[in-house]
Amino acid sequence: MTYVTAADGAQIYYKDWGEGRPVVLCHGWPLSSDSWEAQQLFLAQNGYRAIAHDRRGHGRSTQTWHGNEMDTYADDLATLIDALDLRDVTLVGFSTGGGEVARYIGRHGTARLAQAVLVSAVPPLMLQTDDNPGGVPIDVFDGIRAGSLADRSQLYRDLADGPFFGNNRPGADVSQGIRDAFWRQGLQSGHRNAYECVAAFSATDFRSDLDAFDVPTLVIHGDDDQVVPFEVGGKASAARIKGATLTVYAGAPHGITDTHKQQLSDDLLAFVRSVP
């Protein structure tokens, strides 16, 4: 298996498939790079070098005690991009991974980037605050934390069987395999890492990071996302990022890497190809 070493010694696992201009994929909570496998394979088969890493504390990366917050996640991503000496990168983030993308740009700039993509992503700010009144109440995230402490395995089952893939909507037909894959990846994460990541994805304010975007940016979001509501996530990010293109998946849930995997793969490929 392939790893890069972070500043504090943590081992960050990554998969590096194909050849061509690089596309780097950042995954959601509590998942791993496996959640990108459909898009990673598709991009690699279509002439691009598709790279996906496991965030620290997730998947096959080190379950560190410290560093379970966005600044460190972004610095780990910078370590990966620098170690592989990647240039003209299309940087793609799903859900919490969208936070990594935003914070990476906020802390490390866009010198190595050609494009950015946010998919069902948590920026600008999920948490309801005085200056973000349309956000999600903290009770929701406290409930996730309580569920994690009480029965983490069942929490992941409930998320996969319900809101994550929209399987709680009339007519939904999400396979048992897709839901099992979510559960399997979730339990690969460290207990403390996944617990602390709830604060990282919900309470980190990415608004100033989004103001630093100066590369072509595509925002993709389902308008029936029950995890990161469209109004809080994609719509607000697209309005804040200068020149961003917003693509709305009508009726789509949060987990569109699986539920809309071919549509998402096609849209990513078209966007990547828009750069010579």
Enzyme catalytic residues: 95, 225, 254
Burial class (CB in 10 A: 0-12, 13-18, 19+), 150: exposed
CB neighbours of residue 205 within 10 Å: 15
Give the whole-angstrom CA distance, residue 45 versus residue 31. 23
Q: Are 256 and 264 in contact (CB under 8 A)?
A: yes
Residue at 116: amino acid letter: A
Phi, psi of 236 (to 5 degrees): -70, -40
Beta strands 2-5 and 11-17, pairing class: antiparallel
Give the whole-angstrom CA distance, residue 42 versus residue 44. 5
Q: Are 93 and 195 in contact (CB under 8 A)?
A: no
